[in-house]
Amino acid sequence: MTTETIENFLKSDDWMQDAAGPRYVRLRKRIEESIETGLLGESAPLPAEREIANLTGLSRVTVRRAMQDLVDRGIIVQRQGSGSFVADGTPKVEQSLSRLTSFTEDMTRRGLNSSSEWLERGVHTPSPEEVMALALSSGEAVARISRLRRANDRPMAIERASLPIDILPKPQLVESSLYEVLGRDGNRPVRALQRISAVNLESEDSELLGVEPGAAGLRIVRTSYLANRRVVEFTRSIYRGDAYDFVAELRLANS
C-alpha cells in the first residue's frame, strides 16, 4: 500500500454520491472498506484528518466524527503525537468491576481463546510486601505464579499472583485457570478489593505486551478473600491500556 493508493481511494467521487446515510457514516464505511479489502493492513497509518478533509471535500468536524466512530469500534487507534493507525487486531475487552472472575473465564465468555506464557511458577521466600498482603507468619513460604496472558494470541496482560503455600502447595498444577485449581480444593475467593491506577509501561513490561515503552497501561492490585475473611490471593497485574475498558455500575445510594 502506498500513500498515493490510499489517497486515491479516499478521493471524493462516486463512492460519496452512491453511499447512503450521513456523510461521516459514508466516510467511516469507506475507511472500513479499505481495511476489509487489505488496502490498509494491520497497524498501517492513516492520513491526517486535515488531509482526509482535503481529499474528500468534507469538513474537519465530519472527518473527526468518522474517525472517533472508528476508534470507538476498535477499528483504528489514535496515538498522541503520532496520528491514527489501523488496529493491530488486539481484542478490545470491556471488563466489569462488579464480578470476580478469572482471565480464562472472561475470555471464554467473550468467545476468545485464552493462552498463557509462564514467566515464573514456584515456591519462594516472601517479600515484605507479600508478608503484609497475605498476613503470613515468620518463616512461611509463598507460592508465586507469573504469566503473560493472551487472547486470540494477542498479549493482553501480565499477571503476578502470590498465594499462601497451604492454599497453593504445588504452583505447577496451575495450567490455565488459577481459580479452577483453587475451586477444586474449596479455596476459590468469594470477594476481592481492587485498586486501579494509570501507568506508563516500563521497557520490560512493554516488550512483553508488544507496545512501545512508555505506552499507557493499567496497574491493578487485587487482594482476594475466602468466605472466612482470610486473604487467599495477592495479585499485581499490568494491562494494556488500548485493550481494556473497566466498567462499573453505579447506583444512587438510599437517602
CATH architecture of the region 93-247 = 3-Layer(aba) Sandwich (3.40)
Instruction: Report the pLDDT value the prediction gives residue 94, as an integer from 0 to 100.
Output: 63
Place of cell 484528518: 49
CA-nearest of 132, 119, 40, 131 to 86 is 40
**How do residues 11-67 score in pLDDT, each as one tens digit?**
756 677 666 678 888 888 888 888 888 888 877 888 889 999 988 888 999 999 999
* pLDDT, mean of residues 117-146: 94
Instruction: Report the pLDDT value the prediction gives residue 233, as an integer from 0 to 100.
Output: 96
Q: Distances from the Cα of 10 to the Cαs of 37, 51, 79, 141, 165, in angstroms? A: 14, 10, 22, 62, 60
Q: How far, in Å, CA of 190 to CA of 173, rounded?
A: 21
DSSP E strand stretches across 99-255: 114-124, 142-151, 154-164, 191-200, 216-225, 231-240, 244-247
Percent of the chain at pLDDT > 70 equals 87
User: pLDDT-based confidence at 95, cuts 50/70/90?
Assistant: low
Q: How far, in Å, CA of 79 to CA of 216, rounded?
A: 10
Q: How far, in Å, CA of 143 to CA of 116, rounded?
A: 18
Q: How far, in Å, CA of 170 to CA of 156, rounded?
A: 26
**C-alpha cell at position 107:** 475470555
Instruction: Report the pLDDT value the prediction gives residue 34, as an integer from 0 to 100.
Output: 86
Q: Where are the domains of the chain?
A: 3-86, 93-247
User: pLDDT-based confidence at 92, cuts 50/70/90?
Assistant: low
Instruction: Inform me whether the pLDDT recorded for 161 exceeds 80.
Output: yes
Instruction: Report the pLDDT value the prediction gives residue 141, as an integer from 0 to 100.
Output: 95
**How do residues 97-120 score in pLDDT, each as one tens digit?**
667 777 777 777 777 787 889 999
Instruction: Inform me whether the pLDDT recorded for 234 exceeds 60.
Output: yes
Look at 148-152, 170-174, 210-214, 241-245 and tell me which has the smallest mean pLDDT: 241-245
User: pLDDT-based confidence at 254, cuts 50/70/90?
Assistant: low
Percent of the chain at pLDDT > 90 equals 42
What 69-72 contacts at long range (C-beta under 8 Å, 24+ apart), as own/partner pairs, is 69/24, 69/25, 69/28, 70/28, 70/31, 70/32
Question: Mean of the per-residue pLDDT values for the chain?
Answer: 85
Q: How far, in Å, CA of 222 to CA of 206, rounded?
A: 21
**How do residues 39-55 score in pLDDT, each as one tens digit?**
888 778 888 899 999 88
- Mapped onto helix, strand or coil, the DSSP state of residue 142 is strand
CB 240 within 8 A of CB 209: yes
Q: How far, in Å, CA of 35 to CA of 29, rounded?
A: 10
User: pLDDT-based confidence at 73, cuts 50/70/90?
Assistant: confident
Q: Which residues contact 72 (CB under 8 A, 6 or more apart)?
A: none
CATH topology of domain 3-86: Arc Repressor Mutant, subunit A (1.10.10)
Place of cell 503470613: 136
User: pLDDT-based confidence at 91, cuts 50/70/90?
Assistant: low
Instruction: Report the pLDDT value the prediction gives residue 20, as an integer from 0 to 100.
Output: 67
